[in-house]
């Protein structure tokens, strides 16, 4: 179970690590787009765009359907929730650390 969770997080953060893939997700948040439409703003081939989309699919962020010869992509943002939960743990960790530091600095200032 832990190994599967780790693999899902690895795939998610890998998918989010590239600016083109993040931009594609942003566009998909507005609605479904074909692979050609997703590739359009970039100087890349359809094959190049498809490789980016495959990374997003492996992370579970994109669902692709085929209508004739057109591949249509839709956003599935559910995996982002897992990543956000993982980051919240560390946010609490750093918030506690920073609160302690602030307390130490105030004590030092009062001395």
3-state secondary structure the chain: CHHHHHHHHHHHHHHHCCHHHHHHHHHHCCCCEEHHHHHCCCCCCHHHHHHHHHHHHHCCCEEEEEECCEEEEEECCHHHHHHHHHHHHHHHHHHHHHHHHHHHHHHHHHC
* Residue 10: CATH number of its domain: 1.10.10.10
Domain region containing 84? 1-110
pLDDT digits (tens, 9 = 90+) for 30-75: 999 999 999 999 988 999 999 999 999 999 999 999 999 999 999 9
What's the whole-number mean pLDDT along residues 81-104?
86
What pLDDT band is residue 21 in, cutting at 50, 70 and 90? very high
Q: What is the domain count for the chain?
A: 1
Q: CB pairs under 8 A, 24+ apart, for 54-61? A: 55/14, 55/15, 55/18, 55/21, 56/15, 56/21, 56/24, 56/25, 58/11, 58/15, 59/8, 59/11, 59/12, 59/14, 59/15, 59/16, 60/8, 60/11, 60/12, 61/12, 61/15, 61/25
What is the per-residue pLDDT for 6? 87
Does residue 2 carry a pLDDT above 70?
no
- Tell me the whole-structure pTM to 2 decimals: 0.79
For residue 79, the model assigns a pLDDT of 94
């Amino acid at each position: 179970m832990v190994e599967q969770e780790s693999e899902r997080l690895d795939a998610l953060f890998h998918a989010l690590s590239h600016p083109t893939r993040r931009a594609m997700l942003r566009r998909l948040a507005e609605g479904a787009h074909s692979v050609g439409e997703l590739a359009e703003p970039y100087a890349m081939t359809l094959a190049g765009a498809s490789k980016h989309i495959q990374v997003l699919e492996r992370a579970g962020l994109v669902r692709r359907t085929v209508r004739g010869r057109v591949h249509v992509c839709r956003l599935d943002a559910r995996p982002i929730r897992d990543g956000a939960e993982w980051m919240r743990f560390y946010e609490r960790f750093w918030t506690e650390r920073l609160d302690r530091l602030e307390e130490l600095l105030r004590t030092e200032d009062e001395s």
